[in-house]
Amino acid sequence: MKETELSFLQFDKRLFFFFVSAVAILLAFIKDTFILAETPLMEVLADDGQLGTIKLLNGLSYFALPILFLLKFTVIALGLFIASFGIGYRLTFKSLWQLAMVGQVAFLFLELSRIAWFMVVPGDPSMADVRNFFPLSLLQVTDYQDILPHRRYALRMLNLFELAYWAWLVFGVHRLARKRWSMAFWIVFLGYILPYLAILGFTFFAQAS
């Protein structure tokens, strides 16, 4: 079945990609400058004269963000494309790529909420506190210090913002295919959710080296 052309994906994808990348870089810069820079570890590194190296690495990470986004959206779109084709729906790779890109806005709100928390809540957080604070995630209902380091990633990644991303993908595939919600769910489940959970499961249950 061919997809139906929809107005909600008719926009300049290059401009939107630039917007998503620019906002993500800005949020990363704010977090590095106003939160991580105030942690005790960064103060020690500054005293040791290593702060310049940290700033250089941060700068390189900003340039890497758009590349990571390109890879992320491409992999997600490819997974959805294969799943939809296997079920019998011909959704275009371009539309699925745009769908994955628009959903990234949910994770911009995630980063914004992390920044807002540390700017509002008094205290001097450690580097580990900042890295392991993911609001509305499974990690937040535990004490991360009691969790093995290699398992924290999986618990951080299971959060309500990720669930919102799943819901957006299901909504978008439903609108594109013009078919039942259940069929849209299975496309997203097979093309994205199942591989995502498999990777997190492997990470969580892997033996620490």
- Strand, helix or coil for residue 122: coil
Q: What gap in Å lies between CA 139 and CA 152, rounded to an integer?
A: 7
Please report which helix (H) or strand (E) contains residue 147, including its range: none
Q: What are phi and psi of 203, to 5 degrees?
A: -65, -40
> pTM of the entire structure?
0.88
Residue 42 has a pLDDT of 53
Residue 125 has a pLDDT of 77
Q: What are phi and psi of 143, to 5 degrees?
A: -95, 110
Q: Which two tokens stand for residue 126?
A: 């450690």
Residue 128 has a pLDDT of 82
Residue 129 has a pLDDT of 84
Burial class (CB in 10 A: 0-12, 13-18, 19+), 202: exposed
- Strand, helix or coil for residue 159: strand
Query: Please, what's the b/e burial string for 134-163 (b: 16 or more CB within 10 A of its CB; e: otherwise)?
Result: beebebeeeebeebeeebbebbbbbbebbe
Tell me the pLDDT of the chain (209 aa) as tens digits: 445 545 667 788 899 999 999 999 999 999 888 877 666 545 544 444 555 566 677 678 899 999 999 999 999 999 999 999 999 888 999 999 999 999 999 999 999 999 999 888 877 777 788 888 899 999 998 888 889 888 999 999 999 999 999 999 999 999 998 878 999 999 999 999 999 999 999 999 886 54
Q: Which 3-state string (H, E, C) describes 53-93?
A: HHHHHHHHHHHHHHHHHHHHHHHHHHHHHHHHHHHCCECCH
Residue 44 has a pLDDT of 45
What radius of gyration do the chain's Cα atoms show?
19
